Amino acid sequence: MTFIVPGVAQYTINGSYGGRKVANVVHMKIDTTGSVIDRTNAVNAMAGIVLNEWTDHLLPKQAAAYTAESVSFVDLDSADGSVGSRTQTAEQTWPKPGTGGTLPFPGNVALLVRKNLNGQRGVRKGRMYICGIQEADTVSPAQNELVAAAVTSWQTNMTNWFGSMNQTDQGPLGYNARLCIAHILTREPPSNPNKPWIPGNPLTGVAIEVTSLSVDKTLATQRRRLRS
Protein backbone atom coordinates (compact mmCIF):
# COMPACT_ATOMS: atom_id res chain seq x y z
CA MET A 1 0.00 0.00 0.00
CA THR A 2 1.02 3.60 -0.61
CA PHE A 3 1.36 6.26 2.09
CA ILE A 4 -1.04 9.10 1.24
CA VAL A 5 -1.06 12.55 2.86
CA PRO A 6 -3.50 14.92 1.10
CA GLY A 7 -1.84 18.02 -0.29
CA VAL A 8 1.68 17.05 0.79
CA ALA A 9 4.86 16.49 -1.23
CA GLN A 10 8.00 14.96 0.28
CA TYR A 11 11.45 16.29 -0.61
CA THR A 12 14.76 14.62 0.14
CA ILE A 13 17.98 16.63 0.09
CA ASN A 14 20.53 14.02 -0.92
CA GLY A 15 24.17 14.58 -0.12
CA SER A 16 27.45 13.05 0.97
CA TYR A 17 29.54 13.69 4.05
CA GLY A 18 33.01 12.30 4.45
CA GLY A 19 32.36 9.79 1.69
CA ARG A 20 29.05 8.53 3.10
CA LYS A 21 25.54 9.22 1.85
CA VAL A 22 23.33 11.48 3.95
CA ALA A 23 19.76 12.70 3.49
CA ASN A 24 17.42 15.30 4.96
CA VAL A 25 13.67 14.92 4.42
CA VAL A 26 11.17 17.79 4.50
CA HIS A 27 7.46 17.90 3.76
CA MET A 28 5.62 20.75 2.05
CA LYS A 29 1.86 21.25 1.91
CA ILE A 30 1.19 22.57 -1.59
CA ASP A 31 -2.05 24.24 -2.71
CA THR A 32 -2.68 25.25 -6.33
CA THR A 33 -6.23 26.52 -5.76
CA GLY A 34 -6.91 29.52 -8.01
CA SER A 35 -3.77 28.99 -10.07
CA VAL A 36 -3.37 27.86 -13.66
CA ILE A 37 -0.32 25.81 -12.69
CA ASP A 38 -1.12 22.13 -12.22
CA ARG A 39 -0.01 20.16 -9.19
CA THR A 40 2.69 18.20 -11.02
CA ASN A 41 4.43 21.38 -12.16
CA ALA A 42 4.01 22.99 -8.75
CA VAL A 43 5.63 20.01 -7.00
CA ASN A 44 8.53 20.12 -9.46
CA ALA A 45 8.89 23.91 -9.06
CA MET A 46 9.01 23.51 -5.28
CA ALA A 47 11.93 21.10 -5.67
CA GLY A 48 13.83 23.94 -7.32
CA ILE A 49 13.05 26.21 -4.37
CA VAL A 50 14.28 23.54 -1.95
CA LEU A 51 17.53 23.34 -3.93
CA ASN A 52 17.99 27.13 -4.07
CA GLU A 53 17.21 27.77 -0.41
CA TRP A 54 19.44 24.95 0.87
CA THR A 55 22.24 26.49 -1.20
CA ASP A 56 21.59 30.00 0.10
CA HIS A 57 21.06 29.30 3.80
CA LEU A 58 22.63 25.97 4.78
CA LEU A 59 25.67 25.38 2.57
CA PRO A 60 27.34 28.59 3.86
CA LYS A 61 27.20 27.07 7.35
CA GLN A 62 28.17 23.49 6.47
CA ALA A 63 31.73 22.24 6.14
CA ALA A 64 33.37 21.51 2.82
CA ALA A 65 33.23 17.81 3.76
CA TYR A 66 29.49 18.00 3.03
CA THR A 67 28.30 18.05 -0.59
CA ALA A 68 24.69 18.67 -1.64
CA GLU A 69 23.98 16.38 -4.59
CA SER A 70 20.29 16.42 -5.56
CA VAL A 71 16.71 17.03 -4.43
CA SER A 72 14.40 14.09 -5.05
CA PHE A 73 10.66 14.26 -4.50
CA VAL A 74 7.45 12.25 -4.36
CA ASP A 75 3.96 13.69 -4.25
CA LEU A 76 2.11 12.00 -1.38
CA ASP A 77 -1.23 13.53 -2.40
CA SER A 78 -2.32 10.38 -4.22
CA ALA A 79 -1.22 6.84 -4.96
CA ASP A 80 -0.01 7.90 -8.41
CA GLY A 81 1.60 11.19 -7.38
CA SER A 82 4.53 12.51 -9.40
CA VAL A 83 8.13 11.61 -8.58
CA GLY A 84 11.40 13.10 -9.78
CA SER A 85 14.76 14.61 -8.97
CA ARG A 86 16.50 17.94 -9.61
CA THR A 87 20.12 19.00 -9.62
CA GLN A 88 19.75 22.37 -11.31
CA THR A 89 17.74 25.60 -11.34
CA ALA A 90 18.27 28.88 -13.15
CA GLU A 91 20.34 30.02 -10.17
CA GLN A 92 22.14 26.92 -8.90
CA THR A 93 23.72 23.67 -10.05
CA TRP A 94 24.53 20.74 -7.78
CA PRO A 95 26.70 18.93 -6.70
CA LYS A 96 27.95 21.79 -4.54
CA PRO A 97 30.03 21.57 -1.34
CA GLY A 98 29.51 23.46 1.87
CA THR A 99 31.53 26.65 2.30
CA GLY A 100 31.45 26.90 6.10
CA GLY A 101 35.10 25.99 6.63
CA THR A 102 37.08 22.94 7.67
CA LEU A 103 37.61 20.78 10.77
CA PRO A 104 34.04 19.46 11.06
CA PHE A 105 32.75 16.96 13.57
CA PRO A 106 32.47 13.26 12.60
CA GLY A 107 29.52 12.19 10.52
CA ASN A 108 27.48 10.94 13.47
CA VAL A 109 27.45 14.41 15.08
CA ALA A 110 24.78 16.84 13.91
CA LEU A 111 22.97 20.06 14.65
CA LEU A 112 19.48 19.48 16.03
CA VAL A 113 16.78 21.80 14.68
CA ARG A 114 13.26 21.46 16.08
CA LYS A 115 10.17 22.00 13.93
CA ASN A 116 7.72 23.77 16.22
CA LEU A 117 3.93 23.37 16.01
CA ASN A 118 0.90 24.95 17.57
CA GLY A 119 -0.03 23.04 20.72
CA GLN A 120 -1.84 19.82 19.81
CA ARG A 121 -2.36 16.63 21.79
CA GLY A 122 -0.75 13.46 20.53
CA VAL A 123 1.55 15.21 18.05
CA ARG A 124 5.30 15.52 18.53
CA LYS A 125 7.47 18.27 17.17
CA GLY A 126 9.47 17.41 14.09
CA ARG A 127 13.27 17.37 13.93
CA MET A 128 16.04 18.01 11.46
CA TYR A 129 19.59 16.74 11.92
CA ILE A 130 22.15 18.73 9.93
CA CYS A 131 25.72 17.48 9.56
CA GLY A 132 28.85 19.48 8.80
CA ILE A 133 29.04 21.38 12.09
CA GLN A 134 32.36 23.09 12.81
CA GLU A 135 34.44 22.13 15.84
CA ALA A 136 35.24 25.84 16.23
CA ASP A 137 31.55 26.47 16.96
CA THR A 138 31.77 24.64 20.29
CA VAL A 139 33.40 25.66 23.54
CA SER A 140 35.59 23.78 26.03
CA PRO A 141 34.85 22.16 28.42
CA ALA A 142 31.29 21.79 27.09
CA GLN A 143 32.38 20.57 23.68
CA ASN A 144 28.94 19.13 22.99
CA GLU A 145 27.39 22.61 23.02
CA LEU A 146 27.50 25.41 20.48
CA VAL A 147 28.82 28.76 21.63
CA ALA A 148 26.19 31.49 21.88
CA ALA A 149 27.36 33.21 18.69
CA ALA A 150 27.08 29.96 16.73
CA VAL A 151 23.55 29.33 18.05
CA THR A 152 22.54 32.85 17.01
CA SER A 153 24.12 32.49 13.57
CA TRP A 154 22.54 29.11 12.90
CA GLN A 155 19.18 30.33 14.19
CA THR A 156 19.27 33.28 11.81
CA ASN A 157 20.02 31.06 8.85
CA MET A 158 17.36 28.48 9.74
CA THR A 159 14.73 31.19 10.31
CA ASN A 160 15.55 32.71 6.91
CA TRP A 161 15.45 29.26 5.30
CA PHE A 162 12.03 28.61 6.84
CA GLY A 163 10.67 31.93 5.61
CA SER A 164 12.03 31.41 2.09
CA MET A 165 10.65 27.88 1.79
CA ASN A 166 7.08 29.03 2.46
CA GLN A 167 5.42 30.33 -0.68
CA THR A 168 2.45 32.68 -0.34
CA ASP A 169 -0.08 34.00 -2.89
CA GLN A 170 2.08 33.63 -5.98
CA GLY A 171 -0.77 34.69 -8.26
CA PRO A 172 -2.34 32.75 -11.16
CA LEU A 173 1.02 31.27 -12.21
CA GLY A 174 2.08 30.27 -8.70
CA TYR A 175 0.98 28.24 -5.70
CA ASN A 176 0.95 28.31 -1.92
CA ALA A 177 3.32 26.07 0.05
CA ARG A 178 3.98 25.57 3.75
CA LEU A 179 6.62 23.57 5.57
CA CYS A 180 4.77 20.88 7.50
CA ILE A 181 5.04 17.58 9.33
CA ALA A 182 3.36 14.53 7.81
CA HIS A 183 1.69 12.99 10.88
CA ILE A 184 0.73 9.32 10.45
CA LEU A 185 -2.95 8.55 11.10
CA THR A 186 -3.29 4.89 10.11
CA ARG A 187 -0.96 1.97 9.46
CA GLU A 188 -1.03 -1.51 8.01
CA PRO A 189 -1.23 -4.33 10.56
CA PRO A 190 2.17 -5.51 11.86
CA SER A 191 3.84 -7.65 9.23
CA ASN A 192 5.13 -10.14 11.80
CA PRO A 193 2.40 -11.44 14.17
CA ASN A 194 5.12 -12.69 16.49
CA LYS A 195 6.41 -9.12 16.87
CA PRO A 196 3.25 -7.01 17.19
CA TRP A 197 5.23 -4.14 18.71
CA ILE A 198 6.84 -3.43 15.32
CA PRO A 199 4.37 -1.11 13.55
CA GLY A 200 3.15 -1.72 10.04
CA ASN A 201 3.82 0.60 7.11
CA PRO A 202 1.99 3.95 7.20
CA LEU A 203 -1.19 4.23 5.13
CA THR A 204 -2.68 7.68 5.67
CA GLY A 205 -1.51 10.91 7.23
CA VAL A 206 -2.34 14.54 7.78
CA ALA A 207 -0.28 17.71 7.29
CA ILE A 208 0.46 19.78 10.39
CA GLU A 209 1.96 23.17 9.57
CA VAL A 210 5.30 24.11 11.11
CA THR A 211 5.14 27.49 12.84
CA SER A 212 8.86 28.07 13.44
CA LEU A 213 12.26 26.42 13.73
CA SER A 214 14.50 26.48 16.78
CA VAL A 215 18.17 25.53 16.93
CA ASP A 216 19.25 23.46 19.94
CA LYS A 217 22.57 24.49 21.48
CA THR A 218 23.39 20.87 22.40
CA LEU A 219 24.67 18.79 19.50
CA ALA A 220 23.09 15.45 18.70
CA THR A 221 24.46 12.06 17.69
CA GLN A 222 22.87 8.92 16.33
CA ARG A 223 22.96 7.43 19.82
CA ARG A 224 22.45 10.75 21.61
CA ARG A 225 25.73 10.27 23.47
CA LEU A 226 26.40 13.99 23.62
CA ARG A 227 23.01 14.95 25.00
CA SER A 228 22.60 15.40 28.76
The model's pLDDT over 198-217, given as tens digits with 9 standing for 90+, comes to 888 899 999 999 999 999 99
Q: Does the pLDDT at position 161 exceed 90? A: yes
CB of 97 closer than 8 Å to CB of 114: no
pTM comes to: 0.92
The share of the chain scoring above pLDDT 90, in percent, equals 66
DSSP 8-state secondary structure symbol assigned to residue 62: S
Q: Which of the four pLDDT bands, split at 50, 70 and 90, describes residue 85?
A: very high
Distances (CA, A) of 23 to 8, 26, 199, 227: 19, 10, 23, 22
Which residues, listed in sequence order, are joined to residue 75 by a DSSP beta bridge?
A: 9
pLDDT tens-place string over residues 22-54: 999 999 999 998 888 999 999 999 999 999 999
Q: At what angle do helices 39-57 and 148-165 cross, to 10 degrees?
A: 160
For residue 159, count CB atoms less than 10 angstroms from its CB and return exposed for 0-12, middle for 13-18, buried for 19 or more. Answer: middle
d(CA 10, CA 181): 10
Query: How do residues 164-206 score in pLDDT, each as one tens digit?
Result: 999 886 667 789 999 999 998 899 988 888 888 888 889 999 9
